[in-house]
Structure 1
Amino acid sequence: MRPLICPAPIFDLRKDTMRVSSWFWVISFPFVTFAPGEAEISVWKLGGSGLAWSGNDTVQVLVDFETAPGAIQPLYLTKEQNLFARLSNWSPIKEPRELGYVDGTRPRIWVAADGFFWFQRAGILVNLWVDGDSTTYVPPGSLSSDSEWYTIDVGVPVPVDQFGFFTPPRGLTSDGRLLSEDIYDAFEISVSEETDPVMTTEKLDGDYHPLETLIVRRPQNFDAHVRIDFPKQYVRFVRFKRIITERTRGSGVRLGTIGDFELWAKGVPKRALYTTKVLELDQEVNFGRVFWAATPMRLVDGQAVEAPDARVSVRVEMRSGRDADPNVYHEFTDSGEEVVVSRERFERELKPPDIDRTSVIQEGKPGLRARVAYDTDNWTFWSFPIVEPGTQIPLERGRHLQLKLTLESQSFDDFMRLDSLWIEVSSLLAQRVAGEVARLDEPLPAGGLTRVELGETTDFSYDIKADFESAVQGGFDAVRIRTGSRPRFSSLKMGTPLLQVEAARVEEDDEGLTVFLSERITRSNSPPLRLVFATEVFVFANTFAGEVFNSGSDDLPQRIEVGDVSRAVSTNSLKVWGASDRVEQVIGDLRFSSGVITPNGDGINDELRVEYSLFRLPEAVPVELSIYRLDGTRVAHFDVGRQGAGLQQATWNGRSADGRRLAPGLYLLGLSFKAEFETIRYLRPLSVTY
């Protein structure tokens, strides 16, 4: 069986040889230099004969680099080793604050009792309860709480059928008892495949909740070495709760000493994660399609065989940038304000704010780290997951690239072997092509947001300006705009001032508009452009994504970036928002508890409370709260419930619907009201920071 691979692209695979050199956390490789007018597409390759998988990752979770040289695949887990002992770099707290932490990329273990975290004992947790050493343990402390539970996160769901723990094999307690006999009198164990919603709402000791699946509740235990068998299932989180008995309460100490926790897994994890370092090219390029060669496999009688029907898949996400770091770092000033600093100063000279055992974070002052923001000026957001080879990469030009790969499996014995991945690249057509869209009758909208009535034909202006820095940048003679519905072209204007000119050719289809120019836009001829057209918008958030290309060559198109192109237009955006004129008749007095939400777990602006008044509703209607990135991608969605006329409220905890923390940045909060035969939406900007 041949690997899954897209038909051969139009480039020469012999050009994929490269030299790799490391600098800081950026990997650099040379790139072909193009002569003016040349039409040439080259390829960058990872795996196979290209850049090695091993050593060029910044994150890898349960990835096997050794079984198939030159390829990667999920690590097949066996019961030869306790899974906890196999994992490393454990975090001792529920919300790791390390720079660059992403949920699911690092194992965690935390304990709740006497306040949500035991910060004083955090290091002990990591070193002694999941270290694979039966002789290390945490000495019992005084009994000061009737509630104590431990939560362990292995990062990704793995096929598990057994959990256990045991007392240390030797040693004595402080009162002379054998540690090997210092058992837990009673306990409860629960598990979940993914983040359980209760973990995003619980506070302090009194908020204990078992996870989704209760494995066992043992009110009386006599075993020093406990192993609990249960039906094999995917497990990411394990929660162990000590049940305080009368014997323990009467002793005045926490009876029970654990030498180690154990988790026994066999099979393929539900997903394995691989993220590259930031990859540096020798020059800025445009990106084309992404391809990969992968083979679905299955373990049969201990042997890996090709299996076309294996329930496996590959997901590829990527982002591009024009500098070496996607983050912007800040420190506090004397006045408590924030200023931008270098990453080197942030990491080496500034201290993180102190945090006490009740999760209260120290107030900002000079010498302390402030927030880390995303560099939206120079970096794109992570792309949507690409699941088919040959897909056009939705990235802007860039000199830096980072990839995030997920190898997924829906069966304990099926897995995907990924041999290589490659990406089309070519030289820039212009240094930068910027654009902004607006309603023709409202070029200066309030708040800079272009709002239209859903389903109604609206006239739009689309302004474009290209900048050039080199004669190598060969220019373009065509513009393509994706509108999502069939447009009606009206006019093309060029120059300063803008004057109407004839287009060489216009093509309209159900997805957008292509306008061929009568003259080529080059370094020596780069007037402003304005396209005027009409179309309908049928979705809530629609990006009029655009690109320019050279109709006479096979050069890759160059994406149009958001920018301030015209003083006569104030949107600085390619986004169009669907709305309804009825919103002001239905909602009023909308207030946010804060314009910034900081879900750090410190009790300050951890949640956003939205208050509003509803009018003219004869009965309660369903209300939904959604969070959108500025590119229109919905990242969180919650059903608030049915609400009627009067003062109402909704809350948001700063997380996605599956409980993950959102990246810092600016978002749009949307409230939707399903009234009669239409949905009424209201938008408001909101900042998330940490």
Structure 2
Amino acid sequence: MDKLLTNRSAFLLWLTVSWITTAEADIALWQLGGSGLEWAEHDSVAILIDEITTPGAIQPIYIQPDRSVFSYLTNWGSWTPRELGYVDGERPRVSGNLRLVDGDSTSYLAPSSGASPDGRTFTFDLAVPVPVFSFGFYTPSQGYRSDGNSLREDVVPAYELYIAAHNPNEWRQIADVQENFRPVVRHQFPRQYVRFARYIRRLSRSLEAAQIEALQISSQEIWAKGQAYRGTIGDFEIFGEGVPLRAVYKTRIFDLGQKVNFGRFSWAATPLRIVDGEPVEAPDAPVSIQVEARTGIDPKPDIYYEFTDMGTRIPVSQQRYQDVLKNPSGAVNVNDGQGGALTLTTRPKPGIRAGIEYDQDNWTFWSVPTFESGQTLGLRSGSHLQLKILLNSEEFDAFVRLDSLWIETSPTLATSVIGEVARLDDPQPLRGVAEVEMGATTEFVYDVKAEVSAADTGFDALRIRTGGPPAFKHLEMGIPLRQVEASEVVESADGLTIRLPERLNAGRNELIRVVFAAEVFDFAWTFDGQALDSQSQSLPQPVQSGDVSSDIATNTLRVLASSTTQAEKIRDLRLSTSVITPNDDDVNDLLEIEYVLLGLPRTVATRLNIHALDGRKVATLAAGSQKSGLQRIRWDGRDASGALLPTGLYLLGLEVEGEATVIKRLIPVGLAY
């Protein structure tokens, strides 16, 4: 070992240079904005994004106080049912007719007869929180009712208005008007962030006394003769001033022409503040840029299914799914033909939609967001790329302009590089994933298999991210595996790099096994790996989870950690579903976590923490004080701000406060739409 670690200066220099240079011909820069691709020509979502003011750059739209916020928003959708492909926060919505937000009072909803108007509700979702100071509505500018009265004077007799900043379940009332005589209604309040607004029609006890009296006899009688109820709304209006809390830009899916490795994501940006009506540079502005990315090896990240006459599912094109197939209706439980069960609303047959699934075999989930330029996102190699960019601001009059964004790319070193990890003493765990004692030194076996074609350059080193100081044990290579001596080994504070004695190329596709010891400090840890080429400045190629050999039965680079002594207080932890799908179809919209608490001397505080796979806590649910016995907690798939989380795998950390410590139990759950 000492021999391996002594002469490593040149190897360390190469490791450093491989991350900081882009001047070599092996690395190319893919650019969006500036002198690269046009922002406006390559977006799939643009919520309050200004692509015009500064050529080659994007920035949030600055809301003007004399223009309705609705007029800045496009691509409105219906509140219910959610349309195909809806993603929370990426499309404005209205529960009612779109004519109510089009800015044209002549396209009003005609008054109608029938049931009582009391309680009729319209709800608006601006997609993102916007600085707002006024919410209201007005009557049509022209036209007449069936009784001959002018629509301009057909005011709404009584109503309530509500606003919410982040969560549509946390309304704040701003108006409760029981007698209204105004055709133009505008309720003002201190400027604040508003995403949701709601109108509720009420009956006026003074202006509609006859109708209320008739309703006590029959809810239909007063309108049975065809008399339309009072109150016609031409349009709703929301006024504000300033920059949204976040502006959203999502690119279309780019076809890069070939499979590549990805390096650092960098950008040029300018923080600004509006002073005396003009933007000026403001380095202290509380603004940020948030970038996420996902990669794939085909054009579509979703798989669309149709039922067969046998009740099983077959993949179909997106066009057929959207334009030809019909939604199910009725309620039937059936076998899905793949070892599971589906709760359907009609009997499965050809012509019926059988659901949409994320193609996680060919596409990555969205990456962990980065807020700093020059960072890597840990992306898997791919031929297709999509970006999601948030321009965030914590001040009404401050914003950031994104001038350009560029990404390092280089050709792949191999057609594929897959790996899996397990405990050395338990290579085939019963649950299919390595489980370790948190904080305890554990020996791991890390297997890697590469497929290298004649067109690939190959690689001669591996890097493994351990999260803490590792201890290298030995290296094995070949088919069958045999122990060999590594050319170089570098143990750092959070990783292990091994230079192989032989280069892997098309003529030498061998198995690689690294045995090392490390501690796991997080509930879930992924031993991310990279294949490296020390002979060039090509970007590292990520090691993907997969089935390397029958020796190890995890097929993953992830391990789970827990404290066995603490976990004994929590038993029989069960989930109502392994995948929560909060898409308002009444099927797995809520996740119910059921468990038994044992041996607690008193009632204790219990909470559920939801973690992303990188360890970030994205939500916390307080369950209050609980005692020994059967207990339950429910989760609706939302983060701490009330927004629905992206599709992916999350870790639920159940925490129960004990006498001196916090008892924890961890379990994974998927989220999909």
TM-score band, normalised by the shorter chain?
A: 0.7 to 0.9
Pair 44,410 (structure 1): closer, same or farther in 2 beyond 3 Å: same
Separation in 2 of the partners of 1:444 and 1:525? 28
Separation in 1 of the partners of 2:188 and 2:448? 64
1:107 to 70, 85, 92: 92
Deviation (angstroms), 1:183: 1.8
Task: Give the aligned partner of residue 55 of structure 1.
Answer: 41
Separation in 2 of the partners of 1:310 and 1:668? 35
1:227 to 177, 183, 186: 186
Deviation (angstroms), 1:541: 1.1
Separation in 2 of the partners of 1:94 and 1:419? 37
Q: Deviations over 1:429-451 (max 9, x none)?
A: 11111111111111111221211
Pair 59,422 (structure 1): closer, same or farther in 2 beyond 3 Å: same
SS of aligned partner of 1:109: strand
Matching residue's letter, 2:27: I
Task: Give the aligned partner of residue 418 of structure 2.
Answer: 434
Pair 686,383 (structure 1): closer, same or farther in 2 beyond 3 Å: closer
Matching residue's letter, 1:50: G
1:187 to 156, 159, 173: 159
Matching residue's letter, 2:94: I
SS of aligned partner of 2:564: coil
User: Does 2:157 align with 1:157?
Assistant: no
Separation in 2 of the partners of 1:309 and 1:593? 48
Separation in 2 of the partners of 1:376 and 1:594? 19
Which of 132-141 and 269-278 deviates more? 132-141
Deviation (angstroms), 1:81: 2.6
What root-mean-square deviation, in Å, do the aligned CA atoms of Structure 1 and Structure 2 show?
2.5
Separation in 2 of the partners of 1:535 and 1:572? 20
Contact in 2 for aligned 1:454/1:538 (Cα 8 Å)? yes
Q: Deviations over 1:111-165 (max 9, x none)?
A: xxxxxxxxxxx5xx112x1111112222144344643322111111222111221
1:638 to 602, 608, 621: 621
Contact in 2 for aligned 1:361/1:602 (Cα 8 Å)? no
SS of aligned partner of 2:320: helix
2:138 to 133, 153, 166: 166
Separation in 2 of the partners of 1:361 and 1:610? 25
Deviation (angstroms), 1:393: 2.8
How high is the TM-score relative to the length of structure 1?
0.85
Task: Give the aligned partner of residue 213 of structure 1.
Answer: 172
Task: Give the aligned partner of residue 22 of structure 1.
Answer: none
Deviation (angstroms), 1:259: 1.0
Task: Give the aligned partner of residue 498 of structure 1.
Answer: 481
Task: Give the aligned partner of residue 20 of structure 1.
Answer: none
Q: Deviations over 1:540-565 (max 9, x none)?
A: 11111111212232211111110101
Contact in 1 for aligned 2:637/2:644 (Cα 8 Å)? yes
Pair 541,584 (structure 1): closer, same or farther in 2 beyond 3 Å: closer
Task: Give the aligned partner of residue 409 of structure 2.
Answer: 425
Task: Give the aligned partner of residue 600 of structure 2.
Answer: 617
Identity of aligned residues (%): 48
Separation in 2 of the partners of 1:228 and 1:216? 7
Separation in 2 of the partners of 1:141 and 1:502? 86
Task: Give the aligned partner of residue 272 of structure 1.
Answer: 247
Contact in 2 for aligned 1:667/1:685 (Cα 8 Å)? yes
User: Does 2:51 align with 1:65?
Assistant: yes
Separation in 1 of the partners of 2:624 and 2:377? 38
Matching residue's letter, 1:136: S
Q: Deviations over 1:231-264 (max 9, x none)?
A: 1112111122223332436324643211110111
1:239 to 198, 211, 216: 198
Contact in 1 for aligned 2:428/2:553 (Cα 8 Å)? yes
Pair 130,249 (structure 1): closer, same or farther in 2 beyond 3 Å: farther
Contact in 2 for aligned 1:397/1:558 (Cα 8 Å)? yes
Task: Give the aligned partner of residue 352 of structure 1.
Answer: 327
Pair 583,250 (structure 1): closer, same or farther in 2 beyond 3 Å: farther
Pair 365,664 (structure 1): closer, same or farther in 2 beyond 3 Å: farther
Pair 571,39 (structure 1): closer, same or farther in 2 beyond 3 Å: farther
Matching residue's letter, 1:394: G
SS of aligned partner of 1:560: strand
Matching residue's letter, 1:229: Q
Matching residue's letter, 2:59: Q
Q: Deviations over 1:58-86 (max 9, x none)?
A: 11111111111111111122134322234
Matching residue's letter, 1:87: L
SS of aligned partner of 2:400: strand
Task: Give the aligned partner of residue 581 of structure 1.
Answer: 564
Pair 180,586 (structure 1): closer, same or farther in 2 beyond 3 Å: same
Contact in 1 for aligned 2:47/2:73 (Cα 8 Å)? no
Question: Across the two proteins, how many residue pairs are aligned to each other?
Answer: 626
Task: Give the aligned partner of residue 313 of structure 2.
Answer: 338
Deviation (angstroms), 1:670: 4.2
Task: Give the aligned partner of residue 451 of structure 2.
Answer: 467
Matching residue's letter, 1:487: P
Matching residue's letter, 1:96: R
Matching residue's letter, 2:124: I
Which of 550-559 and 629-638 deviates more? 629-638
1:133 to 91, 95, 104: 104
Task: Give the aligned partner of residue 29 of structure 2.
Answer: 43
Contact in 1 for aligned 2:453/2:505 (Cα 8 Å)? no
Deviation (angstroms), 1:572: 0.6
Residue pairs, 1:380-529, within 5 angstroms = 380-471=364-455, 473-529=456-512
Contact in 2 for aligned 1:280/1:399 (Cα 8 Å)? yes
Pair 689,177 (structure 1): closer, same or farther in 2 beyond 3 Å: same
Separation in 1 of the partners of 2:614 and 2:348? 31
1:675 to 652, 655, 658: 658
User: Does 2:117 align with 1:142?
Assistant: no
Pair 155,225 (structure 1): closer, same or farther in 2 beyond 3 Å: same
Pair 676,522 (structure 1): closer, same or farther in 2 beyond 3 Å: farther
Deviation (angstroms), 1:403: 0.7
Q: Deviations over 1:246-302 (max 9, x none)?
A: 243632464321111011122222211111111111211111111111111222222
User: Does 2:208 align with 1:248?
Assistant: yes
Separation in 2 of the partners of 1:686 and 1:365? 30
SS of aligned partner of 2:105: coil
Deviation (angstroms), 1:635: 5.1
Separation in 2 of the partners of 1:674 and 1:514? 40
Which of 336-345 and 286-295 deviates more? 336-345
SS of aligned partner of 1:85: helix
Separation in 1 of the partners of 2:279 and 2:613? 44
Pair 629,306 (structure 1): closer, same or farther in 2 beyond 3 Å: closer
SS of aligned partner of 2:98: helix
Which of 498-507 and 45-54 deviates more? 498-507
Deviation (angstroms), 1:413: 1.9
Matching residue's letter, 1:302: G
Q: Deviations over 1:200-248 (max 9, x none)?
A: xxxxxxxxxxx44332322332212111111111211112222333243
Matching residue's letter, 2:507: S
| Unmatched runs of 5 consecutive residues or more in structure 1 | 1-7, 13-37, 111-121, 199-210
Separation in 2 of the partners of 1:607 and 1:285? 39
Deviation (angstroms), 1:177: 3.4
Contact in 2 for aligned 1:294/1:419 (Cα 8 Å)? yes
Task: Give the aligned partner of residue 299 of structure 1.
Answer: 274
Q: Deviations over 1:521-546 (max 9, x none)?
A: 22212211111111111111111111
Contact in 1 for aligned 2:163/2:171 (Cα 8 Å)? yes
SS of aligned partner of 1:230: strand
Task: Give the aligned partner of residue 27 of structure 1.
Answer: none
Contact in 2 for aligned 1:575/1:632 (Cα 8 Å)? no
| Unmatched runs of 5 consecutive residues or more in structure 2 | 1-18, 212-221, 224-228, 332-343
Contact in 2 for aligned 1:374/1:665 (Cα 8 Å)? no
Separation in 2 of the partners of 1:405 and 1:689? 21
Deviation (angstroms), 1:182: 2.2
Separation in 1 of the partners of 2:495 and 2:435? 19
Separation in 2 of the partners of 1:281 and 1:414? 35
Task: Give the aligned partner of residue 370 of structure 1.
Answer: 354
Contact in 2 for aligned 1:151/1:239 (Cα 8 Å)? yes
Separation in 1 of the partners of 2:615 and 2:453? 31
How high is the TM-score relative to the length of structure 2?
0.87
